[in-house]
Amino acid sequence: MRRLAAYLKRLPDTATAEDLRAFQLHMVETGTAPPTINSMLSGLKFFFVVTLGHAELLVEVQPLHQPRPLPVVLSYDEVARLIAAAPNPKYQAALSVAYGAGLRFSEVCALKVAVA
């Protein structure tokens, strides 16, 4: 609310829908990170919808999509070198099972050897 008031140079409860959209664009142009902008928009939504009862002001204000980076995928040779680097066959087997099953680190740690 403080940033909105500083941007508008007046009380936030006097803001219009155009003011809120311009404030969002201002935050994007100044390099504010998408999670920060979305957090601010949540606060503004609470203020305008719950406190003031002016839900119509936030029609044009939409949260920003934050692109997720693609995960790093090892090549066949890199996986073979990783498994071969294990100190003994037991660890090589564990790494092979973990990689082949797509297990996470915590899931690998939880594996137990059991005789059926």
- Give the Å distances, CA to CA, from 73 to 6, 77, 96: 46, 12, 16
Specify whether the CB–CB gap between 17 and 56 falls below 8 A.
yes
Q: Helix 76-84 to helix 89-101 angle, to the nearest 10 degrees?
A: 150
* Nearest Cα residue to 40 out of 11, 67, 61: 61
Q: Structure tokens of 72?
A: 């790093």
How far is Cα 40 from Cα 10, in angstroms, rounded to an integer?
18
Q: What is the pLDDT along the chain (116 residues), one digit of tens a residue?
A: 889 899 999 998 888 888 998 999 999 999 999 899 999 999 988 988 888 888 888 887 888 888 888 888 889 999 999 999 999 998 898 889 888 998 888 887 887 878 87
